[in-house]
Amino acid sequence: MSEQKWSFVTREGLQVSVRIAGSDDEALLVELFDHVSPQDLRFRFLSAMKHASRKQIAELIGIDHGTIKSYIAFARDAATPIATAVLACDAEKKRAETAISVRSDFKGHGLGWGLLKLMVQEAERQGMEKIESIEDRSNYDALEIEQKLGFETYPYPDDQRLLLLSKPLVA
């Protein structure tokens, strides 16, 4: 697999580089999730926890890069991971789901916004018809970002605490 890289600058001027996570990135993801608040871990994994388990992290990097890709974001000149995003495509390659986590000390700088825009671009590039996200109703920051980027909000089936956000990609 060739190593793809992306870069963007957040609204706060933070220069970010992003690459697809590989099998040797477990320690980086452990470090990243050790700096994600318990509330944000709950929002990301939709379950209460104090730390992401090694199994959850292994699942993020030991995945099928044909349908599911995990991305790691870094501050431009640093080796420290500051965020992660996942883009999971269905077998028919029509729908993609995304989830994003940002280190607590890097929140509020536009990093989640930049990663979500990148996930939308990647889903479009792969020919997806729509991109979706499942959010806890109390994750106001994520809901606001997604709605500003054109995601529509729907009740999540069989779970009143969750919302499904969806954005059509093909006209």
What domains are there in the chain, each with its CATH number? 5-129 (3.40.630.30)
33: region left, alpha or beta (phi > 0 left; psi from -120 to 50 alpha): alpha
What confidence tens digit (pLDDT) does each residue in 145-165 have? 999 999 999 999 989 999 999
Measured distance CA(150)–CA(58) in Å, rounded: 32
Is-above-0.95 flag for pTM?
Answer: no
Mean pLDDT, residues 18-24: 89
Local confidence band at 51 (pLDDT 50, 70, 90 cut-offs)? confident
Distances (CA, A) of 22 to 14, 43, 72: 24, 24, 9
Evaluated on CA atoms 143, 146, 152, 154, the torsion sign reads: negative
Radius of gyration of the chain (CA): 15
Local confidence band at 2 (pLDDT 50, 70, 90 cut-offs)? very low
